[in-house]
Structure 1
Amino acid sequence: MPSYVIAGASRGIGLQFVLDLLARGDVVIALARNPEASRGLQNIKDRKNLHIIKADIADAASLKRAAEETAKATGGGLDVLINNGVYQDKTYIYNTLVDFPSTEELVSDFTKSFNTNVLGPILTTNAFLPLLKKGTQKKVITLNTGLADTKLILDIEYPKLTSYSISKAALDMVNVKYALALKKEGFSFLNISPGLVDTQAPPKPEEMGEVMEMITAFKKGYPDWTPMPMPTAESVGLMLEIIDKLTVENSGKFVSHKVGDFLSTCRYTEADY
């Protein structure tokens, strides 16, 4: 049976990946920075084929230990790695590059964003590469966002969610670089947008103006788009269909959960954050 590592498995999309893969009978290694505090993981900790490991994707030492524990659980190999961890500070979410309160706050926000959103997947991928090389599928999936699509953002003229968008755009290049470096070894790397998913609390009243501005911008590019968050299970189900079809010929692509026929000539289709 195939083995999966889910980085960022404590809640939301990561936890749903764990649940869906366990339901298929796969071996699942769930990485979480504080698994004891995850009600979702604790509720299923005794499930067959589940291994919960404490790891911080921004900490290379903890990832090395997690890879060692994973090797013991899987017999030394790994088929699929799913990078799901993300950082976004709501304090600065609606700041543009020119209106951060101070240079220090801008640097702090960008540093934290890049440490988690860019270096995190790099450190995680590198830690598990020796195991993936011994696996049968050799797939690395990284969750991204339509907000990282530079053409889309230029078209809809939306300048906010700044450090998040920029770090996620850098993550697209990370995916391409890995794909090129390891294609001859049979690896398949994919960035995928999960869409607008119901994983967060509704916006506060004071946030509604900003939310409506963002929705208006997106509808400029996609007039038929409906800003209705989909259930987590729906998004993960669509992504798993794509992951299952992924081959080395498609390595390096950045696709939407809506891609449908995976063999698309586009690197990114139907942008939907």
Structure 2
Amino acid sequence: MPSYVITGASKGLGFEFVRQLSENPDNLVVGIARDKAATVKKVSEELAGRSNIHILQGDITDYDSIKKAVEDTATLTGGALDFLVANAAYVSQWDAYDSLGTLAKKPQELEDDLLKSFKVNVLSNIHLLNQFMPLILKGQAKKVIVLSSGHADLDSIRLYDLDVACGYAISKAAMNAAVAKFSAQYRKDGVLVMSICPGSADTGQFAKATPEQLQSAMQLMGKFQQYAPNFTGPGAPKDAVSAVIGVWEKASIENGDAGNFVSHYGNKQWL
């Protein structure tokens, strides 16, 4: 029975990973969520009858809560884990629509928000991978997948002047480097660690945007269309998740995927 752990399982792509992976009754799917009660309720309402889903309490910024989630996962799986999907992230709404030069007008807010992006998206995920690695080393598949973003691709930033979502982009780029470092340590043990970008998925990120922010978002969408002329806007989460799963199923150390950062197409085409 292949075993999976997904962080940020309460909504968005995280819940969609739980939904799709649990469709196969042979899979054991563990979702980690900050609000366990609400997530259990959502599973019971939308995924009723799937006894292969287990929701655990956990916040990736709380080291001890993840330590407990690791212990509970080990009990469920017999001490091993095949797949760890590091999906949970902080997507700032404060810096999502402005450049660093504009954000610099509020230096303390810039510092606080950038540090929060780094703490959640980098440091907390480093702790997460370290805590679950003993279980991964005992697993069969030995795959660790970190959800990344095309915003972290330096060529795209410089070629298309992608000057917004600064903290998110910087933190995701830093985590890509951490993924490569984990791979450098554990590839010899047969562990595949890699970053995958799910593309642009509609997870309600623009729901509370002001008219000015929506204008900035439209400018960003225009740059995306310059990059990928067929791009028509964020796609459905189910398609993004299905594509990411397809990439990690094909990925292997032997194919040169260890430590790599790829898109939902399995290459460097981000949209």
The answer, yes or no, to whether TM exceeds 0.5 is yes
Task: Tell me if 1:270 matches 2:238.
Answer: no
1:230 pairs with one of 230, 235, 239 = 235
Q: Indicate which of 79, 89, 93 corresponds to 1:76.
A: 79
1:252 equivalent in alignment to 2:259: yes
Structure 2 unmatched runs, 5+: none
Alpha carbons 1:196, 1:227 under 8 Å: kept? no
Return the alpha-carbon distance in structure 2 between the equivalents of residues 229 and 244 of structure 1.
Answer: 24
Match of 1:11 in 2: 11
Match of 2:98 in 1: 95
State the match for 1:41 in structure 2: 43
Cα distance between partner residues in 2 of 1:34 and 1:122 = 22
User: Could you tell me whether the CA contact under 8 Å between 1:145 and 1:195 is conserved in 2?
Assistant: yes
> In the alignment, what sits opposite 2:173?
169
Q: 2: CA distance between counterparts of 1:127 and 1:205? A: 40
The structural deviation recorded for 1:46 is: 5.8
Deviations 1:121-171 (A, max 9, x none): 111111111111110111000111110000111000121111011101111
Bigger CA drift: 150-159 or 229-238?
229-238
**Residue equivalent to 1:122:** 126
Counterparts of 1:220 and 1:200, CA distance in 2: 23
Aligned counterpart, 2:217: 211
* Structure 2: distance between partners of 1:165 and 1:208: 19
Whole-Å separation in 2 of the counterparts to 1:60 and 1:93: 27
In structure 2, relative to structure 1, the CA distance for the partners of 1:212 and 1:37 (3 Å cut) is: same
* RMSD of aligned Cα (Å): 1.6
The question of whether the paired residues in 2 share the 8 Å contact of 1:30 and 1:50 is answered with: yes
Deviates more, 1:196-205 or 1:49-58: 196-205
Q: Deviation digits for residues 157-189 of structure 1, max 9, x if unmatched?
A: 121111011101111101111111101000001
Aligned partner of 1:221 in structure 2 is: 227
Q: Deviations over 1:10-36 (max 9, x none)?
A: 011111111111111200110001122
Distance 1:70 1:194 in 2: 26
1:200 to 201, 204, 215: 204
> C-alpha displacement at 1:45, in angstroms?
7.2
Aligned to 2:246, which of 241, 244, 259?
A: 241
2:102 is equivalent to residue 110 of structure 1: no
Structure 1 pair 205/63, CA: closer, same or farther in 2 (3 Å)? closer
The AA in structure 1 aligned to 2:43 is L
**Secondary structure, in 3 states, of the residue corresponding to 1:132?**
helix
The structural deviation recorded for 1:231 is 1.5
2:86 partner amino acid: N
Counterpart residue type for residue 42 of structure 2: G
Give the whole-Å Cα distance in 2 for the aligned partners of 1:182 and 1:137.
13
State the Cα deviation string for residues 198-251 of structure 1 (Å, max 9, x = none): 2116554603210111012222333x2323222211111111111111212311
TM-score for the superposition, normalised by structure 1: 0.91
Q: Once the 2 structures are TM-superposed, how far is the Cα of residue 67 of structure 1 from its aligned partner?
A: 0.3
Moved over 6 A (4+): none
In 2, the alpha carbon distance for the partners of 1:164 and 1:225 equals 25
